[in-house]
A and B are shown apart, each in its own frame.
Chain A
Amino acid sequence: MEALILTVLLTSVPLIFAATGELVAERSGVLNLGVEGMMLMGAVSAFAATSILGNPYMGILAGAVAGALTAAVFSLFALGLATNQVATGLALTIFGSGLSGLVGAPFVGGTVEGLPNLAIPLLVDIPVIGNLLFNHDIMAYLSIGFLVLVAWFLNRTRAGLVLRAVGNSHDSAHALGYRVLLVRFGAVSFGGMMAGLGGAYLPLVLTPHWSEGMTAGRGWIALALVVFASWIPSRILIGALLFGGITIMQLAGQARGWTVPSQMLSMLPYIATIIVLVVIARNRDFALANSPACLGRLFIGNK
């Protein structure tokens, strides 16, 4: 059982990274559908840097930088030139998938030494949960660290308040003198960095090799997670564990001889997300407080 829970935890890490990043971008009012492309860029850069430099920690850095740079392409068009966000995000996924394949071609067939586990002294000795929670690689800790940081930033800091204001009404935020596009650029770049980290987790920990399209749709799941979490950071954790949990449950169920069609189980998270959407939309106060009203809408002009 412990091993199964561990599997759920690890398979959730890329989702937590990518979804937390996208949450920040969406909170600022930008819908970036290019998560899959940014994750792939993060994955390939992390793998390339690790194989060249022989140090997986450089891989983490490379993944983060690559993700942020890919996001900057999105910003250039969707923010700088006010192109439609949905179309630009889709284009970014096409672009990122292609570019990652191109960059990664020389690395196909290689493998690297992944990130080692860093047990936290004392805590790891706690019975039952010690090994489950405190014996992971650095990125697993980082994912939770970022989640906490984002929650604190959004709710407890002035900058977080500004970011949310920009997402809720860019016109009023602008009237108050905030630089809407700059805030959004920051949020989108952060989202890209996090997606890059999420992608990097694949070749650095989960499956230490590179191959084209290895994220296999996880970027899209991250997008669903943000909505499932109704834009509240802590719920990303619940959502990611739920998505990961259902995947693993479905696999473990098969190993134990369950006969429910796997497709039906795989549908559950998406249907749950729709139900969550309805529930939060019905609760007006909640919706007003948390869903960015300007999500996906264009903001033109700056000074």
Chain B
Amino acid sequence: MLWEIDLWPREGMPNRDAESVVADVQALGLANGDLCVTAARGFLIQSDQLNREQVERLAAELFVDTVTEEYRLADAGDKGLKAPPPSSALRGKQPRLFQVLFKPGVMDPVSQSAEAAVRDFGWHVEGVRTLRKYWLAGACDEEVVAIGKEVLANDAIELLIDGPLPFDRLPAGSANDFELRTVSIRGLDDAGLMKLSREGQLYLQLAEMQTIQRHFAALQRDPTDIELETIAQTWSEHCSHKTLAGRIAYQDEHGERLFENMLKETIFEATQELRRKWGDDDWCVSVFKDNSGVVRFDEQFNVTFKVETHNHPSAIEPYGGANTGLGGVIRDTIGTGLGAKPVCNTDVFCFAPPETPHGELPPGVLHPKLVMRKVVEGVRDYGNRMGIPTVNGAVFFDPRYLGNPLVYCGSVGLIPRDKSFKQPMPNDLIVAVGGRTGRDGIHGATFSSAELTQESESISGGAVQIGNAIEEKKLLDVMLAARDRNLFSAITDCGAGGFSSAVGEMGEEIGAVVHLDRAPMKYAGLTYTEIWISEAQERVVLSVPEEKWPELELLCASEGVEATVIGRFEPTGRLSLKYRGETVGELAMEFLHKGRPPVVRQAKFLRPATGELRAKNDLAVVRRSEDASGGRDFSEVLLRILGSPNVASKEWIIRQYDHEVQGGSVIKPLVGATCDGPSDAAVVRPVLGSRRGIVIANGMNPRYGEFDPYHMAASAIDEAIRNCVAVGADPRQIALLDNFCWGDCERAETLGSLVRAALACHDLAIALETPFISGKDSLNNEFRYVDDAGNRQVIAIPPSLLISALGQVEDVSRCVTMDLKQAGNSLYLVGETKDELGGSHYALVNDLEEGAVPTVDATRGKITFAAMHRAISAGLIAACHDLSEGGLAAAAAEMAFAGGLGVDIQLNEASDLPIEALLFSESNSRFLCEVRPENASRFEAALVEVPLARVGNVRACNQFNVQADGGEVIRTSLERLKESWQRRTV
């Protein structure tokens, strides 16, 4: 018997599901006129044992909140279920019913929880599925179809049913017949090899396919499908970073340079050089090796940091993509050393502008407004449920992110110093812990190496996963307990490539035998290859000494976490895969990990010639010292900068994230008198009862990349560091992460721009003594489609380098926020302002191009950061804000409205700079500081080595005034500034 319970809000309570559909339809312009929607949630309960009375009880006591909701219960085939809930909105209309279910195999935590919760009643059901029902009226057929496809259901994971349910039992998986498959590779020509690579979703290159062919020719056999898949996973860009860690012939204005391993010779090398220099004072612990970078924190603990991207899945199914993106990077923390405890998260997103007209979307692309909202929700629902505070982030908008939105998720962990390293031992058991294996996420690792196309949604739907945060929270709790009892010798999370990558990686130096049929599965019917490469979430693999297994098994069972022995790290040097007693794959670890032919790529960089700042598509240079309209009033420009999407308040996102759970919050993302000013960095005390803090910040500016990726990278590094320093971090102990998101690096120019950025990372890391400790890249962020006129089009993202910084502060009570504190205090500008408006927000809002892009004087930057830290540590600074987008004017405005205090600024210093540069230049290594009169002389003394100017006063009023050359150039009020900054909401 299949029962259906429909439930909807009581009269007087809002129908949020319906309201959200109407809002989305309006936002996307999908229907005109009188669209009327009502919605209900449903549960389908398959049970041959329960009677109606029992199901009624389940409805009233488990599924329905009778205070706020009404429900009906019927046999799922009952015609009455087709009618909308009694609602005035649809009365007298002929609504059309749509029902949405998850596709079979898609993770649905609610149905899993429901099945378990029914057992608490002492009853058994065969299965529960969730259902969403929508009744639409007032739209024509064409509109209804568009709404169904674009708003009600995402075809990648959901089934949209027009009308009543077409089944009367929940479909169950069926057992498959085992059949060993081999792939004929030995006889293929080059075209045949590439066809196999593409159609098998291996996404390997010709030289790699030829190497595999030769390997098996020498063995005098063809590979099995699972062998081929294993090699493809291990050799994928995602798992091996073969492009950036490969041979590159790079050319720029300084000549040619040949890299054997580009990353190793630039970014890693900088860290090694610093560590050699520091000697005994080296505070790096584990870099570029483990799932996260690890640095020293205090006598007892180290801290770990990792930032990952989850771009391709987020393009296709933004909620699930972002959800599992965060879940994945949290598992990186759990899988670092012998397991770190996640203490905070950070998230940076890049989207196309939400105003993009619906008609301009290429086929297969979701609207950026929906993508943005669902990415935010995906991150929110995972981080909040895990109980990890999301403390820092940023959002960037550019039309070129339309086909490839970027989702960067970061996780910081705390780990005891003696648990910071892992070592799988020969003859250890291979134990899978956590969620069950299903068909979700097949081909994620190789898919991330492919470019997205308009068909991606249909080809790679299987690569999309939905997370179950509670499963991961359970896993986290039990792993930390097992770590503290020394129950395993190594841990690796199952990420891209699933068991294939995790076991392959752990057993690289030893060898492994895996019995695939022993892995617990969500449902029957998976082939042995699917079990091996599934990227089902919330799983880790442990290497467990045999004598520890009984205790581990008990511990896991006591917390309701499944743990299963699936094999053993046998010291054979071979990976041996078995299914139902038969060997289905046998590969030498040596070939798997070292057999990949080196990728050799060309890279070249040609610095575009840039002239003076000028209006777009207009050769006339803008007259200096005048605003676009020829006047000298820059108030409007400032308001436009504050209201521009990158700068504007992100409060609507921030307040959906729990940024205080775990109790360590010190500097929150929003600060100031009314808690709505933009903080430079977050400060968290990861150890309750200790005063020591960690500082999290980021730097990114894709707009500078069009001028020179070197300066873009240098500026991003400077920004991340100065954000940390601005709140009180010690610049002598800031660790960095790089995340390169780039276009197709088979193009020499694209790869050249990336190498150029990596060179800057090397140079700046050494000059500022801020080591990179981990990093990640996501290449091929290009979207290909055929436009209405039949022309092939490509949208490549701009070079997008995110620099994440992890700083430390000895005593958090010394930290400083950016909001102005008191009238009568002075404002000081720290650092040198140059005429650097190229790529600036001043240029953006005035539609200008060219000009000089900000550069970094690292020698001076280092002195500035050290001096600032001395001043903050001595308690000499009342408020401090870094200068970035919008320059001095924007920073001063933000400080003023955050503190609810007026500002008078005089830029009367003899200066060769035009006024707009004084106001809006984005020169690096600068801060605006508020200083109490009694601290002024000590502050000036502390900053004696650094360019310093007293530029204004804090006043007890609501005016924001700037004078330059004796004239007024900005005159506005705090209310107008704040209103401009806060206007954007979603």
Pair from one complex: no
